[in-house]
Amino acid sequence: MKLLIFELYKIFSKPRTYISYGVILVIIFLIDFALLFSGQEYIDFLLNTFKDSFVIEGNILNGYMISYIILQTLIIHMPLLVALVSGDLISGEASSGTIKILLTRPNTRSQIYFTKWVTGELYTISVVILLGIVSLVFGIMLFGTGDLMVLKSDGVDLIQSDDLLWRFGLSMSLAVLGLSVVSTLSMMISAFVENSITPIILTMAIIILFTIIGTLDVPLFDLLRPYLFTTHMLVWKNLFDQDLNMNLIESSSVVLLVHILIFYSVGWYYFRNKDILN
Amino acid sequence: MKFFTAIIIVCLPILIMAQSAKKSVHACFEKFNKIQSYKANVHLDFDLPDINMKSKDAKVYYKKPNKFKIKSDGILFLPKQNPYESFDLLRDSNAYTAVLVNAEILHQKMCKIILVVPIKQEDIILCKLWIDDQAQLIYKMQLTTKSNGTILVEHYYGNQTQYGLPDKSIYEIEINKFKIPKVIALEMNSKKNKKAGTDEKNGTIQMSYSNYQINIPITEI
Amino acid sequence: MDESAIVVRNLYKSYGSFEAINDLNIDIPKGKITGLLGPNGAGKSTLMRCILGLIKPTKGDIEILNENIKTGIPSVFRHIGSIIEKPDFYTYLSARKNLELLAMISKLKADQINIQQCLDLVNLTGRENDKVKNYSHGMKQRLGIAQCLIHNPEIIILDEPTTGLDPEGIIEFRNLIIRLRDEFSKTILLSSHILSEIELVSDHIIIINKGRLVAQGNIAQMLNEEDMVIYLETDDLPRTESIIKNNFNSTALASEEFIQFNLNKEKIPNLVQLLVENNLKIYRLDTKRGLEELYLNITSTHQ
């Protein structure tokens, strides 16, 4: 526990930790204010197809929709913010030499690795919670509540407001799970290198590569796609389907958990046997 | 003389039929015209392609001459046409021509199919009505307007036949296929099966009314 | 024989085909200062890191206070404080916060933590709330010592602790570690390139070269076993040289100003007597205990 407090104290003493929080708050406020002034045009543009057939009654541009827009906009960029901190957890200490302080105290390397991982997880959770809560609260303050209209490429799902909060809660948990893979991956890379920048760049490079593989319509990639964690990272969005596909949510969660387990094990094994030479 | 006789023989039934059609339409209108206002609960069921939403409960308000509003806590997809828009036209029997074109059994009732065509240039282009003459009820209406296209609505009656108010109305609506770019919907990784089909589809909205309160003061609209 | 604080047996560490440590057997006596000597790349840092568990040995055993580190880690680190190459800190935190955090993860009881005492000992009182990034090199070095002492360890391991210090800093540092031995009975393992420093503070030395042990033992005994180096200046250097050669069977190196030769310290009175008897005027007679010579001699014979 003391080791965890020690790790938390350290990351929350570093300015870079607050970059993510700052970026999230700035983006939330920017999107909120932009939609406050021109949100109706944006909605009209998106719902143009229906304008000949329907009158859509009710508060479409409500706090839930704003929060959903912010979530899906920001979560794409969250891996970078998470890697910024998780990628520094071990390599940052290696480059500054402080890893020697840690390893020459009465704690095992496994304890140290686990504590650092938990710290990365807590940071990831804090980022997602901040994103979720601020976007929801601020969105509701500015735009009120209402049903959530989820705009998909081939249709619209309308979820009733009394059916939303648990979906937001569970989707945040799934977003945390997805980002935990990123956090564990960047920490694993962090165990292998001696500088903080490589884990961040390498993590982002892997995510970009996997996303490209996941996006391209090539038969070979179709075989790979189910095994890439990036395919499952956006599973949180499935919580906003009118008819929940629990099988998909469960299988994606399992794939993400397996990735976390693999990345954790590889990083832990290497760190446990690593020679500290600098 | 034979020529005139022939014209009279041909036109008279038409004139009589036109008068009869107009009478049927007017009778239905007059029945409804007794209502100053009403309020009711409405349960909406949606069966709309590309729109996935659950049933909703709402309240419906009407105030003479044609103010109509459905209010709900959440979001509703509603037919674009006001169902009472046609009543603007039907109010003045000199403003339209009614032609009986056919008859059809609908809901076990023999219904006249009457075309109502405005005389002046109006937003309404054509109104096709299925009228049960005996009960003086409109069982089906197809309304074509310049601004909002065509809508088909079928009414089912129960307790409120004396006012011509339905227990259930089913609106059939033409809908264009909904499409937005995947990038905007942030579906970069999704590989959904492409749905085959045309760009235009039909959907229905079913409104089931209950707890009518007729001719009470309405402040909501 | 002194009780050993650290015992290393048959230690090997290899990186591929390179043997950084090769069958090393050493004993570090308790309550003494042990100087670890060796040329660059001899394996000093590797040995220290092996002792601290930072590097996993390929083979062999290390016992610290009778506890094998293979099984004893991490509890054994309760008894060790260290500075390897340079003291490391969280420079974005204050000195006090660094020490507090370190105490926190050292599994100490509240009454075992005395941060103020450590700060006083290393003369950082008054600056303890400054961020470490604003500290001078000397202050960082002193804070490093405070960091070593925060958990009151029995053993202190210092790898090149005086690197980059100015002469005052070196003297201050020297006095501090002597104090730690004399007043607090700490066992100190110290490596340095500055042989005079090692000579001044150490009770015991270990010399390694190419990962192998070359010599170890009590420094006074090791130096006594060897001849002293004598620097002699007289009014007649050629005659002096001849006297030395004939009487002590020692080869002297003569320059224009003095003669340098090796002589057992027991024979120095005889030398002086002979020179006086031969009416030679002695202008200068310097002796050197000769760790440098000993070191060079030992390492060159083990090349």
Q: How confident is the model at residue B10 (pLDDT cuts 50, 70, 90)?
A: very low
pLDDT value at residue B96? 87
Print pLDDT tens along chain A (278 aa): 888 888 898 888 888 888 888 988 998 999 999 988 888 888 888 887 777 778 888 888 899 999 998 888 777 788 888 998 899 899 988 888 888 888 888 888 999 999 999 999 999 999 999 999 999 999 999 999 889 988 888 788 889 888 899 999 999 999 999 999 999 999 999 999 988 899 999 999 999 999 888 888 788 888 888 888 988 988 888 888 888 889 999 999 999 999 999 999 999 999 998 988 87
What secondary structure letter does DSSP report for B48? B
Residue with tokens 């009654």: A57
**pLDDT attached to residue A173:** 92
Enumerate the residues of chain B whose CB falls inside 8 A of the CB of residue A46. 180, 184
Q: Contact, C46 vs C23, CB < 8 A?
A: no
Yes or no: say if B195 and B109 are a contact pair by the CB < 8 Å rule.
Answer: no
Sequence-distant (6+) residues with CB within 8 A of C214 are C38, C207, C208, C298, C299, C302
Closest chain A CA to residue B188: A215
Confidence (pLDDT) at A268: 96
* Interface test mutation site (partner C, options A101, A111, A113, A119, max chain C beta carbons within 10 A): A101
User: Helices A109-143 and A78-86: crossing angle, nearest 10°?
Assistant: 150
Q: Do B186 and A72 touch (CB under 8 A)?
A: yes
Among chain C residues, the shortest Cα distance to A106 is held by C74
Q: Considering the entire predicted model, what is its pTM? A: 0.81
Q: What is the pLDDT of residue C51?
A: 92
Check whether B78 has a pLDDT greater than 60.
yes
Give contacts of C53 with chain A, Cβ < 8 Å.
Answer: 103-104
Instruction: Round to whole Å and give the CA distance between C282 and C240.
Output: 10
Distance (Å) of CA A102 to CA A75, A121, A199, A208? 33, 20, 20, 34
Q: From CA C223, how far away is CA C269, in angstroms rounded?
A: 19
Reported as a single tens digit per residue, the pLDDT across B17-50 is 455 788 888 888 888 888 889 999 999 999 988 8
Q: Hey, of B180, B192, B193, B194, which one would you mutate to test binding to chain A, going by the most A CBs within 10 A of its CB?
A: B180
- The minimal CB distance from A97 to the residues C76, C80, C86 is found for C86
C-alpha span between A67 and A73 (Å, rounded): 10
Q: Do chains C and A touch (3 or more CB pairs under 8 A)?
A: yes
Predicted complex: ipTM over 0.85: no
Q: How far is CA B114 from CA B26, B157, C23, C24, in A?
A: 12, 19, 110, 111
Helix, coil or strand: residue C124? coil
* pLDDT for residue B14: 47
Chain B: residue nearest A218 by CA? B191
Look at residue B12 in the predicted model and tell me its pLDDT. 45
| CA A237 from centre of chain | 12
**DSSP-derived pairing of the beta strands C33-37 and C59-64:** unpaired
Q: Contact, C204 vs C217, CB < 8 A? A: yes
Question: Is-contact C210 C204, C-beta < 8 A?
Answer: no
C-beta atoms of A13 and C101 within 8 A: no
List, as ranges, residues 255-274 from A with C-beta within 8 Å of C: 273
Distances (CA, A) of B112 to B98, B126, B163: 11, 16, 19
Distance CA A43, CA A34 (A): 13
pLDDT digit string (tens) for C22-43? 889 999 999 999 999 888 888 8
- Whether residues C106 and A106 touch (CB distance < 8 A) is answered with yes
- Cα gap C112→B41, rounded to integer Å: 75
Of A104, A107, A108, the CB nearest to C82: A104
Q: Does A110 touch chain C (CB under 8 A)?
A: no
* pLDDT of amino acid C72: 62
H-type helices in chain A, by residue range? 2-11, 15-46, 63-74, 78-86, 91-96, 99-103, 109-143, 165-192, 197-215, 219-224, 229-233, 246-273
Which residues in B lie closer than 8 A to residue A230 (C-beta atoms)?
Answer: 189
Query: Residue A54 is nearest to which of B71, B79, B184, comparing CB atoms?
Result: B79
Judge: B51–A156 Cβ closer than 8 Å, yes or no.
yes
- Average pLDDT in chain C: 84
User: What pLDDT does residue B16 have?
Assistant: 47
Dist CA A219 CA A164 (whole Å): 37
